[in-house]
Amino acid sequence: RGGPAARPPRRRERRRSLARRHRKSWPRSGRTTRTGSPGFLCSVLHSSGHEHWPCGAKVVVSAEMGGFPTAMRSVQEGPGPSGRMDKVLAASGLQRDWAAPYVDCSRDTYTGPCSITGVYRYLNYGFLMGPVGELRKLVSFVLAQGGNDQGQAARYCFSHPDVCTLDYGGLLSLSLHNFKRSIDEGPLAFQSVDGHSVVYNRATQKVACFVHGNGNGKALVKEIAQRVAQAE
């Protein structure tokens, strides 16, 4: 009777052991600290091959092609946000138009339309990463304001540029809204790494950490998931 009850602690200890082993593999400068150092973001990106992430901001939020809600588009298109976007992209070795060959902005011209220049620049509230304390501030603001959560998240992030930045290169999470319907026409491809099938981003030449089927990208992400499952 005591056997099953004793198993959860062993599982927890095994998970802790794996976590400690993973932390030891990170560069010392990238380890997490109690003060909520943005080095946490750097270390995770470093371990996945993204060595050049600009680590000034503590919180990273995913981006997307479509500006939704449209009332918040102008907040994200000004000189300040544009300059920050260029710095993030330059640090990642990317240009503003990195997504251009793979998108079809005619798919949504009303609810979540592309920018005039077709740049992957708008906040998407589907992926957040950073120290718990900073994430709590962001989420608490969104809940307190009410209304559209993505719009409120954009309001917070672009009012706190020292705290929050966007994943303008889709390095952490690629949002598929307004990308072309076919996998073969999009930026994602499949490769085998150490005997496992991985999703590779041809535009960034990096393994895709996460892929988000938001907006009109839901069918595409389902197809990607099916192909990955078949390859395993």
Q: What is the pLDDT of residue 13?
A: 55
Q: What is the pLDDT of residue 230?
A: 80
The dihedral of CA 101, 44, 229, 219: what is its sign?
negative
Residue with token string 């544009």: 82
Q: What is the pLDDT of residue 10?
A: 54
Q: What is the pLDDT of residue 57?
A: 86
Residue with token string 């304390």: 133
Q: What is the pLDDT of residue 192?
A: 80
Distance CA 99, CA 120 (A): 7
Q: What is the pLDDT of residue 129?
A: 93
Two structure tokens written together for 44? 């995770």
Residues of the chain under the 70 pLDDT cut: 1-55, 232
pTM for the whole thing?
0.77
In contact, 94 and 169? CB cutoff 8 Å: yes
Q: What is the pLDDT of residue 232?
A: 65
